[in-house]
């Protein structure tokens, strides 16, 4: 390896990070609940769904990052550029509801983890989760984007260790894992769970946010060598980040398949923790809860970051991050204070998030397919075709997920 090659590799490594922040959305408490339920009920059967979901999510996240680098605008700003004010306000309203629903899921997940670990009441746990997430956002304001990325990446690693720790006690049979990678279903319930996993994978706030993350980190490079290099680095960033997120999700399903298969009524995170405690012992169960806590804290701060970016892009107004954090925190704490079932509230928040999917993914594919806007970096026709297929599939699955949830299935 020549000196220039080593220098280029080192520079490329330094530029990684934005995708890891976006990837937190793929290991949030909602994913934990879905993957535990799938593994406990169906074993390894739907492992292939997690792999497929992460491949689709990786494509969407790369298109979002590419849009930011090439146009110099975040996805919300690009969507709202040619909209009249009434339409922009309407679009912002649905995006803001999505941001609040995001916070509900993450704060509830953190509150559940604090109750498991320390016996704290859920409302107090929600407040503590909100306060810590505000401290994480303060790191970005005071220390900059790079340090914030490193902290979030560190939390992502804690999540990975927490949810994969049980493999030190027992490992899945290789044959069963390979069988789980073969696409197939077994009955209606497997189809419903696959729809839940796939439909809840691509989160709108992560799609909006990634375009802004790369702008904050890399700026708007001019066409030419530098932009091509940054796009290559971004592809690597997305592949690595989604590989980590996919591995974590697969680990959660495998842990449930190994240790919880056949146990009844473990749909809630609390019951999953109790089952792991009884099967694998207190140490592994505590690591699981620590992973859940890190998931809630990291995803909550990232969700608030995304909400601020959406507001700035669509309304052209910048509100202090801490003010926004307080506003979006209130509904989550209120739900906990009223004594509503936390797992049910988490599920409903995922349904609300599902409504926002078409408003993020469909415009993204349209914009990145626009040669007038993207120039030489326009999507390849095959990429465009795959992008539309992914966007329509994810939208359809979210509609199915909403229907099934309303029907109580």
Q: Write the pLDDT tens digit of every residue in 380-391.
A: 999 999 989 888
Q: Is the pLDDT of residue 99 over 70?
A: yes
Q: Which domains does the chain possess?
A: 3-342 (1.20.1740.10)
Dist CA 43 CA 186 (whole Å): 11
Residue, of 75 and 200, whose pLDDT is higher: 75
Q: Is the pLDDT of residue 6 over 50?
A: no
The answer for 223, left when phi > 0, alpha when psi is -120 to 50, beta otherwise, is beta
Q: pLDDT tens across 330-339, in order?
A: 888 888 888 8
Q: What is the mean pLDDT of residues 149-175?
A: 86
**Range of weakest confidence among 1-15, 130-144, 187-201:** 1-15
Question: pTM score, two decimals?
Answer: 0.88
Dist CA 279 CA 301 (whole Å): 33
> Which of 102, 248, 46 has the alpha carbon at shortest distance from 165?
248
Dist CA 82 CA 358 (whole Å): 18
What pLDDT was estimated at residue 264?
56
Radius of gyration of the chain (CA): 20
Residue percentage of the chain with pLDDT more than 90: 30
């Amino acid at each position: 390896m020549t000196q220039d090659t080593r220098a280029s590799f080192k520079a490329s490594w330094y530029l990684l990070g934005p995708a890891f922040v976006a990837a937190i959305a793929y290991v949030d408490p909602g994913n934990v609940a879905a993957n535990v339920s799938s593994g406990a009920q169906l074993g390894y059967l739907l492992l292939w769904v997690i792999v497929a979901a992460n491949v689709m999510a990786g494509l969407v996240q790369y298109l979002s990052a590419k849009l930011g680098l090439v146009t110099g605008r975040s996805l919300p700003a690009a969507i709202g550029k040619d909209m009249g004010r009434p339409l922009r306000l309407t679009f912002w309203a649905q995006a803001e509801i999505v941001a609040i629903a995001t916070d509900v899921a993450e704060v509830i997940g953190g509150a559940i983890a604090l109750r498991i670990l320390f016996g704290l009441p859920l409302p107090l746990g929600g407040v503590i989760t909100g306060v810590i997430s505000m401290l994480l956002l303060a790191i970005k304001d005071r220390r900059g984007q790079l340090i914030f990325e490193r902290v979030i990446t560190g939390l992502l690693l804690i999540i990975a260790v927490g949810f994969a720790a049980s493999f030190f006690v027992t490992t899945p049979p290789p044959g069963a894992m390979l069988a789980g990678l073969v696409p197939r279903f077994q009955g209606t319930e497997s189809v419903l769970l696959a729809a839940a996993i796939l439909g809840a994978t691509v989160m709108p706030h992560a799609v909006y946010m990634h375009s802004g993350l790369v702008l904050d980190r890399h700026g708007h490079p001019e066409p030419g060598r530098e932009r091509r290099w940054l796009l290559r680095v971004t592809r690597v960033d997305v592949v690595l980040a989604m590989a980590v997120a996919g591995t974590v999700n697969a680990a959660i399903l495998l842990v449930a398949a190994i240790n919880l298969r056949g146990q009844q009524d473990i749909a809630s995170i609390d019951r999953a923790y109790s089952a792991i405690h009884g099967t694998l012992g207190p140490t592994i169960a505590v690591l699981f809860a620590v992973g859940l806590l890190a998931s809630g804290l990291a995803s909550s701060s990232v969700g608030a970051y995304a909400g601020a970016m959406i507001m700035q892009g669509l309304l052209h107004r910048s509100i202090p991050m801490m003010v926004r954090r307080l506003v979006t925190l209130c509904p989550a704490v209120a739900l906990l204070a009223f004594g509503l079932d936390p797992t049910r509230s988490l599920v409903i928040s995922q349904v609300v998030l599902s409504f926002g999917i078409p408003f993020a993914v469909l415009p993204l594919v349209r914009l990145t397919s626009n040669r007038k806007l993207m120039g030489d970096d326009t999507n390849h026709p095959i990429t465009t075709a795959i992008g539309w297929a992914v966007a329509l599939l994810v939208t359809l699955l979210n509609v199915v997920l909403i229907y099934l949830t309303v029907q109580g299935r």
